[in-house]
Amino acid sequence: MGLTSARRPPRRLLAAGILLLLALVVVLLAGRALLASRAVRTLPQTSHDLVLGGFLLVAAVLALLATRALVAAAFGHAAGTAIATWRTAVSWIAYAVLGLLIVSQLHLDLSGFLVGSAVIGVVLGVGAQTSLGNLFAGAVLLVARPFSVGGWVHLRTYLFGGFGGADFSGTVLHVGSFHTVLSVGGRTVHVPNSAMLMAAITTGPIPVQVDLDVTLPATAPLAEIERRIAAGLGLQPPAGVALRPHRVTVGATAEVGCRLQVAALRPVDARAVVRLLAEAAGPPLPPAPDPDPPPRRE
């Protein structure tokens, strides 16, 4: 089980993180002294690089484990709160700081590496354009904070879902480096951060418990149906029921397609909503009679 396991108490994680940081400092000091010694400097370049690579690998592993332990200890009790939104940003900042510390203490010369990897960096940047876009979008979301962890959001995005776009309504569980995690009707949905950044977002404190597509007669009183369903469920403001028309069908009978959403702080039985809708909307309209058939030819 990893150091970031939620089962470990924050105090144990904090102690482990501090010990790992101390071990990292000891490794860096020992590596700095050893690399500056005459015995190592007189070694062939290949052997010198192996010694340097060994210290670099050990330092990188210690830095990774220490960061994970300390961040998990700091945010252990912040799950589902607005503070948890900053966990990813704090992790990346800690990685960057420890990385610079390792480079400076081991006196690494990165100029040749940077020049030699310029072409590789361009190729990887083009290949990972989507991932990098999600990473930068996640950074923007962390700074701008159009929504908070634990809050309810309704978003409409055209980045996927076809010409009509896609709608999601749910509670924000986590904002990660590449994805924002939503709880939508009991399902966990991972939305790319770039889609979240480009979406039209409606925020609110009340989560949507029931989200249905229904078809009603065109003459149905939508406001009265909303009131009767809310009264039948015992909802009090700010909880409520919304019927949003989005499609009209004209045929034998005129019908309107609606999105029925019930926003409430407690779970709502979808079967009860369907029963109340049937009672409030009344019996379906009878089909229109067929026109008179043409006279038969003798």
What span, in angstroms and rounded, lies between the C-alpha atoms of 32 and 105?
Answer: 6
Q: Which residues contact 116 (CB under 8 A, 6 or more apart)?
A: none
Q: Same domain, yes or no, for 199 and 215?
A: no
Model pLDDT, residue 1: 39
pLDDT band per the 50, 70, 90 thresholds, residue 288: very low
What span, in angstroms and rounded, lies between the C-alpha atoms of 273 and 268?
Answer: 8
Model pLDDT, residue 294: 57
> Which value, in Å, is the radius of gyration of the alpha carbons in the chain?
30
Q: Which residues contact 90 (CB under 8 A, 6 or more apart)?
A: 71, 74, 75
Q: Same domain, yes or no, for 213 and 234?
A: yes
**Domain at 239, CATH number:** 3.30.70
Q: Average pLDDT, whole number, for the chain?
A: 76
Model pLDDT, residue 33: 82
For 230-261, how does the pLDDT look when each residue is reduced to its tens digit (9 = 90+)?
999 998 877 889 998 988 888 778 899 999 99
Q: Same domain, yes or no, for 198 and 226?
A: no
The answer to whether residue 297 is domain-embedded is no
What range defines the domain where residue 99 resides?
A: 10-108
Residue with tokens 């005129």: 254
Model pLDDT, residue 228: 92
Q: How many domains does the chain have?
A: 3
Q: Which residues contact 30 (CB under 8 A, 6 or more apart)?
A: 55
Confirm if 148 and 161 have CB atoms less than 8 A apart.
Answer: no
The answer to whether residue 172 is domain-embedded is yes
Q: Same domain, yes or no, for 232 and 192?
A: no
The answer to whether residue 130 is domain-embedded is no
Name the domain boundary from 204, 235, 268: 204
Find the mean pLDDT for residues 147-158: 78
Q: Same domain, yes or no, for 32 and 98?
A: yes
The answer to whether residue 156 is domain-embedded is yes
Residue with tokens 């700010």: 238
Q: Which residues contact 260 (CB under 8 A, 6 or more apart)?
A: 210, 211, 212, 213, 214, 241, 242, 243, 273, 277
Find the mean pLDDT for residues 175-186: 80
* Higher-confidence position of 121 and 53: 53
Name the domain boundary from 108, 140, 158: 108
pLDDT band per the 50, 70, 90 thresholds, residue 91: confident
Confirm if 225 and 214 have CB atoms less than 8 A apart.
Answer: no
Name the domain boundary from 204, 226, 250: 204
The answer to whether residue 266 is domain-embedded is yes
For 46-57, how does the pLDDT look when each residue is reduced to its tens digit (9 = 90+)?
777 787 788 888
Model pLDDT, residue 114: 47
